[in-house]
Amino acid sequence: MKDTMDILTKSSMRMLVAAGFLLLTAITGNAGDIKIIANGSVKQDSISQEELRAVYLLQRRTLRDGSRAVPVLQKGGPTHDVFVREYLGRDAEEIRIYYQGLVFTGKGSMPKEFRSEGEVVAYVLGTPGAVAYVSSETASEGLKVLTVQGARKTGERGLITRVEPQYPETLKQMGIGGSVRLQLSISPKGEVDRVLVLGGNPILAEAAVEAAKRWVYAAWPSQTTAEVTIPFRPNP
């Protein structure tokens, strides 16, 4: 009886630890989902990681499309911590010191800081050129969500599910093949939101797009883009 109790207790403990671990993982995962939002005046749909970093380090005041860039900060919190670590390569304390160095030497102003994501969204809505980061769950109606281009990061983002395209039978019989180049826009959760055809036979591209839409990538702190090439070989 005692042995049975011991086994049950150990088993319960293991389950409890596993549940705790899963819960922790879930919390960490949520904290890591970030999207980059911008005021509607920003013309471009994407921003490179280097560009975003330069904007937040106050090295760039305009984006590559020429529009004004006004970085907005959160006053601490998990989203802020993940953003400065992942995108600026510093921790929250270091980035605060960096800004203070500019402010107290007369070489820059402190970016606007807000305590809540609601305040961040409201400010970005009303400020031309404002760029900010919020949790991916935060509503962002009326705002532009910028995809972050970064081959290095996208390259690291693993493809979990790959669906092969249906080769159009007629083209296959006629021996027509080639490659289709696509640009994928991938959500923080890993779903392919948008597919842009960059090149290739239009009929093959249609099949490639249908397949790519069903691909699933690993979760990532923000929206990313990836360029992929899908080959079609009539005689493999």
Partner 1 sequence: MRWRVLGLALVCLGLAERSQAQEFKVWNRAVQVHGFASQGFVYTDHNNWLSMNTNDGSGAMTDMGLNMSSQLTDRLRVGAQIYDRNVGRFGQWHPSLDWAVADYHFSNWLGIRGGKVKTTLGLYNDSQDLDFLHVFAFLPQSIYPTDLRDTTIAHTGGDVYGNVALGRRFGAVSYTAFAGIHHDSIYSGYPYLATQWSAYFRDIEGPQYGADLRWETPWKNLLLGVSRMNQEITAKGFFQNNAVAPQPVPYQTTTKAYWSNQYYGRLHGRRLEVDGEYRRYVILFPMFAGSNVSMDARGWYISGTYRVGKHFEAGSYYSRYTITTVSGGLAQFYLPSQTDTSLPQNHVYDKVVAGRWDLNRFVYLKIEGHFMDGYGLGPYPDGFYPQQNPAGFKSKTNALVLKTGFHF
* Residue 97 makes contact with partner 1 by CB under 8 A: yes
Rounded to whole angstroms, how far apart are CA atoms 191 and 219?
9
Residue type, 75: K
d(CA 39, CA 153): 25
C-beta closer to partner 1: residue 28 or 166: 28
Q: Minimum distance between the CB of residue 133 and partner 1, rounded to whole angstroms?
A: 20
Residue number, 101 or 118, with CB nearest to partner 1? 101
Taking CB under 8 A as the rule, does residue 100 contact partner 1?
Answer: yes
Min CB(99)–partner 1 separation in Å: 10
DSSP letters, the chain, are -HHHHHHHHHHHHHHHHHHHHHHHHHHHHHHH-EEEEE-TT---SEEEHHHHHHHHTTS-SB-TTS-B-EEEEESSSHHHHHHHHHHHSS-HHHHHHHHHHHHHTTS--PPEEESSHHHHHHHHHHSTTEEEEEETTS--TTSEEEEEE-HHHHHHS-EEE--PPPPPHHHHHHT--EEEEEEEEE-TTSBEEEEEEEES-HHHHHHHHHHHTT-EE---SS-EEEEEEEEE-S--
> 106 or 175: whose CB is closer to partner 1?
106
Kindly write out the interface string for residues 9-48 of this chain, putting x where it contacts partner 1 by CB under 8 A and - elsewhere: ----------------------------------------
Verify binding: residue 105, partner 1, rule CB under 8 A. yes
> Per CB under 8 A, which region of 101-109, 192-200, 201-209, 227-235 contacts partner 1?
101-109
Q: Is 80 in the site for partner 1 (CB under 8 A)?
A: no
Tell me if 152 contacts partner 1 by CB under 8 A. Answer: yes
Stretch that binds partner 1, among 38-46, 59-67, 166-174, 195-203 (CB under 8 A): 59-67
Q: Which of residues 170-199 bind partner 1 (CB under 8 A)?
A: none
- Min dist. Cβ of residue 193 to partner 1 (A): 25
Contact at 8 Å (CB) between 146 and 45? yes
Supply the minimum distance, in Å, between the C-beta of residue 149 and partner 1.
Answer: 11
Q: Does 116 bind partner 1 (CB under 8 A)?
A: no
| 91 near partner 1 (CB under 8 A) | yes
Binding site for partner 1 (CB under 8 A): 50-51, 54, 59-62, 68, 89-91, 93, 96-97, 100-101, 103-110, 129, 151-152
